[in-house]
């Protein structure tokens, strides 16, 4: 047995135990624990039910690139780990086991665990018993894969099961039509590998990839882009917002969000739909779970110890699916068993976020706080994050922009119409949401534990209300990108935000002081619905559907029938209701409402909503709102003469912009000074294309960024390089890694990938070092690419750092005044002037 005398003093076994530590499962966490125990000379055994070690990595598809994420997380293990192929990782870890002399037993399936620290009885299939002082359970979840339960899931096609749940070697399949269900990392990697030699369709219940690593998300987006042209190799067809309905021979039947059925031809279906914790086995061993939820994980302490003394649970089974996390936990569990309470590997990263000022705010009188203590405070004091696993909170503390704010009574947290969409939680005190700017004392009040700011997060638009501290308050602010990821991946966060959106919007629209209990039925019967562009929410004349719709993302166009033609008369942006008139007045729909872009709305049951009318005060309030809406509707109908213009705005997406570049064609002399000025002030790369873009009458909308209220480009930016200023300007900073996600996500083609120097080199730098284009050399992106070697995303930034108090340079450079930048609200006025 290896180790020095001091080490042996802490690792010795009792006479009754065969081993100091029994490790069950040889995935990354189990291997790391075994390697560390072996290196320290601790009596141990590693039990693996398979005929080989590391079944998790072994079952990866051949030649899969194994990513060592998160990159900023230190590695704490006696096994080497870096980004390599599946085969290289297996070889490295096999070598590490041999070097440390791990005591390994293969084909040793554990069927039961009894006892506690000092005397664990581990039963193996066949009846043998292994005795150990401590147990490290690292069996993961991959042995309990989720499977399709739809009709036909067990069909055999062309001699093989039509549905399979594992992919060993993608090169075994040639020229097949293959459907991949599941858009986590495993599904994405399978799809990309198969696309090299097959026709692949990816089936997605959403339209993006919230659970994927940034690198995988970028790869699949690129493959989908290639798939738009069937002649491009490696292309993938992306089938969005559907769920698997039925498997038929050679065909997968899918159901869309609107109930419509579509089919995808397939010779094979690869279903990578996750796995579940082997709960029955764990509970038979006496292990307790945090809840009855199907995705619940076992209860463990900060040191990974379960409620059974001496039984530690690490890795994916404890909610830590990333390999580097698993390796660290295996190492740490051994140290904890030996009595060394080392901090988690990510603790220094969390401590970087914990300044003495922040600690004093959270815990007056304290000068230090561990990451675990901070997580406990967040879970205890916030409703929004209460159900998150500690690893999820640790992750967003490490990566997110998390701020603490102490706001005095009467202080403003944010103003109505600001461009910001972080979310705040009230840790102490109280805030008030001002419902009506004209009546600032009329508020929806929120106390400790509540959150706010979610409407701007969902819609991506301006703040809909001013929020003030009604008494001294301590607030936790979490940035937009982190919140978007949590909403997409964590059901408890999404449910909390959805429920709050219904309650708060009803309060804002009706009465701030309404009792939440009165709204319980409304919230319970509400449903979130997604609408594709041009899909109808409300149809004029309809008498059957009298639901109310709260638009929470995107925007819609209101139209009426005039002489047999549908004429647009106005926009409805996120944060507003549509449809309450028919509900209250019991009349047919007086107008149609269609989604102008892909949108999301909360459908509120008419039956539940009408129950609110039993309250006399509420009924009077609703009647007053109806009268106000009648006036608004009358004003909207005056827009019939501008129907073609409104239709144009909707079609071109101008309605979701905050700043649009317009050119009056009657004044433009085609000098291209606007493009030249943009290029000269942006390292030789113009961010606009004067000739491209649509026209309406004499007004031209060139291809230039519209600085959308809900920027599509910000949807999936791995390095968080895209930002928006308080006045709406959207720009890309130097963190850009050139993944191209923003270019693919922009529906208006205003982002380009260009090789641009960090700064424009001077003449002396060119003469001495050849830096940058010289006199007479090509300054275009193509001319620069050979010098820089990498591309970055570029777009209009409204000359934010160089324009001073003046207009952007494209406007300044126009000699005739043809180029102007306006808010969409002024578009109609500009149009009228252009007609004169």
3-state secondary structure of 590: coil
Residue 668, domain CATH:
3.30.70.20
Give the tens place of pLDDT for each residue, 516-529.
777 888 888 888 88
In this structure, the answer to whether residues 245 and 206 fall within a common structural domain is yes
In a domain, 131, yes or no: yes
Cα separation, 251 vs 241, whole angstroms:
18
Are 164 and 269 within 8 A, CB to CB? yes
In this structure, the answer to whether residues 126 and 237 fall within a common structural domain is no
Count of domains for the chain:
5
In a domain, 780, yes or no: no
Give the tens place of pLDDT for each residue, 320-363.
888 999 999 999 999 999 999 999 999 999 998 888 888 999 98
User: What does the pLDDT read at residue 2?
Assistant: 38
Q: Is the peptide bond before 37 cis (omega within 30 degrees of 0)?
A: no
User: What does the pLDDT read at residue 91?
Assistant: 94
In this structure, the answer to whether residues 38 and 171 fall within a common structural domain is no
Measuring CA to CA, how many Å separate 335 from each of 41, 299, 419? 13, 20, 48
Give the tens place of pLDDT for each residue, 440-482.
888 889 999 999 998 888 777 778 889 999 999 999 999 887 8
Pairing of strands 555-562, 660-664: unpaired
Q: What range does the domain containing 697 cover?
A: 653-755+790-835
Q: Which of the listed residues 599, 618, 644 is the one where a domain comes to its end?
A: 644
φ/ψ (deg, to 5) at 471: -150, 165
Q: Which of the listed residues 310, 328, 345 is the one where a domain comes to its end?
A: 345
Q: What residue spans of 563-692 are helical by DSSP H? A: 580-585, 606-611, 616-637, 643-652, 673-680
Cα separation, 158 vs 164, whole angstroms:
14
Q: Which of 312, 344, 315 is nearest to 21 (CA)?
A: 312
In this structure, the answer to whether residues 454 and 406 fall within a common structural domain is yes
In this structure, the answer to whether residues 809 and 664 fall within a common structural domain is yes
Q: Which of 349, 345, 347, 290 is nearest to 317 (CA)?
A: 290
Say yes or no to pLDDT of 727 above 80.
no
Give the tens place of pLDDT for each residue, 211-256.
787 778 888 988 998 887 767 778 899 999 899 999 999 999 999 8
In this structure, the answer to whether residues 675 and 818 fall within a common structural domain is yes
Residue 133's pLDDT band (boundaries 50, 70, 90)? very high
| Three-point CA angle 336, 339, 340, nearest 5° | 70
In a domain, 760, yes or no: no
| β-pair partners for 445 | 432
In this structure, the answer to whether residues 398 and 503 fall within a common structural domain is yes
Count CB-CB contacts under 10 A for residue 762.
11
Give the tens place of pLDDT for each residue, 713-724.
887 777 778 887
In this structure, the answer to whether residues 487 and 631 fall within a common structural domain is no
User: What does the pLDDT read at residue 771?
Assistant: 46
In this structure, the answer to whether residues 193 and 222 fall within a common structural domain is yes
Give the tens place of pLDDT for each residue, 814-832.
999 888 888 766 666 666 5
Say yes or no to pLDDT of 700 above 90.
no
In this structure, the answer to whether residues 202 and 250 fall within a common structural domain is yes
Q: Which of the listed residues 255, 271, 287 is the one where a domain comes to its end?
A: 271
Residue 105, domain CATH:
3.50.50.60
The torsion defined by the Cα of 572, 577, 578 and 584, in degrees rounded to 10, comes to -150
Please tell me the number of Cα atoms within 13 Å of 89 on its side-chain side.
28
Residue 603, domain CATH:
2.60.120.10
User: What does the pLDDT read at residue 775?
Assistant: 46
In a domain, 506, yes or no: yes
User: What does the pLDDT read at residue 16?
Assistant: 55
Q: What residue spans of 66-213 are helical by DSSP H? A: 86-100, 185-195
| β-pair partners for 577 | 550
| Mean pLDDT value across residues 190-219 | 88
What DSSP state is assigned to residue 665? T
In a domain, 773, yes or no: no
| Mean pLDDT value across residues 581-596 | 80
In a domain, 784, yes or no: no
Pick from 183-187, 198-202, 578-582 the range whose average pLDDT is largest: 198-202
Say yes or no to pLDDT of 121 above 90.
yes
- Report the predicted TM-score, pTM, of the whole model to 2 decimal places: 0.71
The structure tokens listed for 171 are 């090169």
Measuring CA to CA, how many Å separate 833 from each of 699, 812, 830? 11, 20, 5
In this structure, the answer to whether residues 63 and 97 fall within a common structural domain is yes
Are 348 and 73 within 8 A, CB to CB? no
In a domain, 764, yes or no: no
When the pLDDT of each residue in the chain is averaged and rounded to a whole number, the result is 83
Calculate helix-pair angle for 86-100, 28-40, nearest 10 degrees.
30
User: What does the pLDDT read at residue 214?
Assistant: 74
3-state secondary structure of 112: strand
Are 658 and 707 within 8 A, CB to CB? yes
Give the tens place of pLDDT for each residue, 33-84.
999 999 999 999 999 999 999 888 888 888 888 888 888 889 999 999 999 9
Say yes or no to pLDDT of 785 above 50.
no
In a domain, 762, yes or no: no
Say yes or no to pLDDT of 8 above 50.
no
Say yes or no to pLDDT of 130 above 90.
yes
In this structure, the answer to whether residues 388 and 494 fall within a common structural domain is yes
Give the tens place of pLDDT for each residue, 600-651.
888 888 787 777 777 777 777 777 776 776 676 666 566 566 667 777 777 7
User: What does the pLDDT read at residue 640?
Assistant: 63
Say yes or no to pLDDT of 301 above 60.
yes
Query: Residue 262 is inside which H or E element, if any?
Result: strand 261-265
Measuring CA to CA, how many Å separate 617 from each of 268, 511, 614? 61, 9, 9
């Amino acid at each position: 047995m290896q180790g020095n005398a001091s080490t042996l003093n802490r690792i010795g076994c009792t006479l009754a135990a065969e081993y100091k530590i029994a490790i069950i499962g040889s995935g990354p966490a189990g291997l790391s624990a075994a390697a560390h125990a072996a290196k320290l000379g601790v009596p141990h055994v590693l039990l693996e039910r398979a005929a080989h070690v590391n079944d998790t990595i072994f079952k990866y598809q051949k030649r899969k690139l194994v990513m060592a994420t998160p990159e900023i997380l230190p590695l704490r293990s006696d096994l080497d780990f870096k980004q390599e192929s599946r085969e290289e990782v297996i070889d490295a870890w096999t070598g590490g086991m041999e070097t440390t002399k791990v005591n390994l037993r293969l084909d040793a399936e554990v069927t039961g665990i009894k006892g506690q620290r000092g005397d664990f009885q581990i039963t193996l299939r066949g009846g043998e018993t292994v005795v150990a002082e401590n147990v490290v359970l690292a069996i993961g979840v991959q042995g309990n894969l989720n499977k399709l339960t739809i009709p036909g899931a067990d069909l055999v096609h062309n001699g093989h099961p039509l549905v399979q749940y594992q992919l060993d070697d993608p090169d075994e399949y040639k020229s097949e039509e293959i459907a991949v269900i599941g858009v986590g990392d495993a599904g994405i990697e399978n799809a990309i590998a198969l696309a090299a030699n097959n026709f692949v369709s990816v089936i997605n219940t959403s339209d993006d990839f919230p659970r994927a690593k940034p690198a995988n998300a970028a790869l699949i987006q690129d493959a989908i882009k290639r798939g738009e042209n069937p002649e491009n190799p490696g292309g993938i067809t992306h089938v969005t917002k559907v769920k698997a309905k039925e498997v038929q021979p050679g065909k997968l039947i899918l159901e869309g969000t609107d109930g419509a059925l579509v089919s995808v031809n397939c010779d094979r279906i690869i279903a990578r739909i996750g796995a579940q914790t082997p709960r029955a086995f764990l509970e038979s061993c006496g292990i307790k779970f945090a809840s009855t939820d199907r995705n619940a994980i076992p209860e463990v302490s900060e040191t990974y110890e379960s409620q059974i003394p001496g039984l530690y649970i690490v890795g994916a089974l404890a909610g830590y699916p990333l390999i580097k996390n698993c390796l660290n936990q295996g190492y740490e569990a051994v140290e904890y068993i030996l009595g060394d309470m080392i901090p988690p590997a990510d603790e220094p990263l969390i401590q970087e976020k914990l300044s003495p000022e922040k600690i004093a705010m959270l815990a007056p009188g304290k000068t230090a706080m561990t990451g675990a203590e901070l997580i406990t405070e967040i879970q205890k004091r916030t409703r929004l994050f209460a159900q998150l696993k500690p690893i999820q909170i640790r992750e967003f503390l490490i990566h997110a922009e998390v701020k603490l704010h102490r706001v005095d009574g009467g202080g403003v947290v944010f103003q109505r119409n600001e461009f910001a969409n972080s979310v705040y939680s009230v840790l102490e005190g109280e805030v008030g949401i001002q419902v009506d700017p004209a009546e600032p004392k009329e508020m929806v009040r929120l106390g400790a534990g509540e959150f706010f700011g979610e409407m701007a997060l969902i819609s991506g638009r301006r703040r809909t209300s001013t929020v003030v501290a009604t008494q001294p308050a301590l607030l936790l602010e979490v940035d937009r990108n982190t919140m978007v990821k949590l909403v997409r991946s964590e059901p408890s966060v999404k449910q909390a935000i959805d429920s709050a959106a219904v309650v708060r919007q009803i309060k804002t629209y009706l009465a701030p002081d309404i009792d939440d209990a009165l709204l319980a039925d409304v919230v319970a019967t509400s449903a979130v619905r997604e609408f594709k562009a041009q899909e109808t929410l409300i149809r004029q004349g309809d008498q059957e559907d009298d639901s109310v719709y709260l638009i929470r993302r995107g925007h819609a166009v209101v139209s009426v029938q005039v002489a047999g033609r549908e004429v647009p008369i106005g926009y409805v942006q996120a944060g507003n209701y549509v449809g309450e008139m028919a509900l209250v007045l019991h009349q047919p729909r007086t107008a149609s409402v269609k989604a102008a872009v892909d949108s999301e709305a909360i459908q509120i049951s008419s039956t539940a909503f009408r129950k609110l009318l039993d309250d006399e005060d509420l009924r009077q309030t609703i009647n007053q709102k109806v009268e106000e809406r009648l006036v608004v509707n009358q004003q909207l109908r005056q827009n019939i003469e501008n129907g073609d213009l409104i239709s144009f705005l909707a079609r071109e997406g101008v309605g979701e912009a905050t700043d649009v570049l317009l050119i009056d064609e009657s004044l433009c002399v085609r000098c291209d000074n606007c493009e030249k000025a943009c290029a000269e002030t942006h390292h030789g790369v113009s961010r606009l294309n004067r000739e491209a873009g649509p026209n309406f009458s004499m007004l031209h909308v060139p291809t230039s960024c519209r600085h959308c209220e809900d920027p599509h480009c910000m949807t999936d930016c791995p390095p968080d390089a895209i930002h928006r200023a308080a006045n709406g300007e959207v720009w890309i900073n130097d963190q850009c890694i050139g993944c191209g996600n923003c270019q693919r996500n922009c529906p208006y083609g205003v982002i380009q990938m260009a090789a641009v120097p960090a700064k424009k080199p001077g003449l002396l730098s060119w003469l001495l070092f050849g830096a940058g284009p010289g006199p007479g050399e090509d300054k275009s992106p193509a001319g620069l690419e050979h010098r820089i070697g990498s591309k970055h995303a570029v777009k209009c930034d409204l000359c934010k750092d160089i324009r001073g108090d003046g207009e952007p340079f494209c406007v300044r450079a126009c000699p005739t005044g043809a180029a102007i930048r306006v808010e969409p609200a002024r578009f109609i006025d500009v149009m009228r002037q252009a007609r004169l």
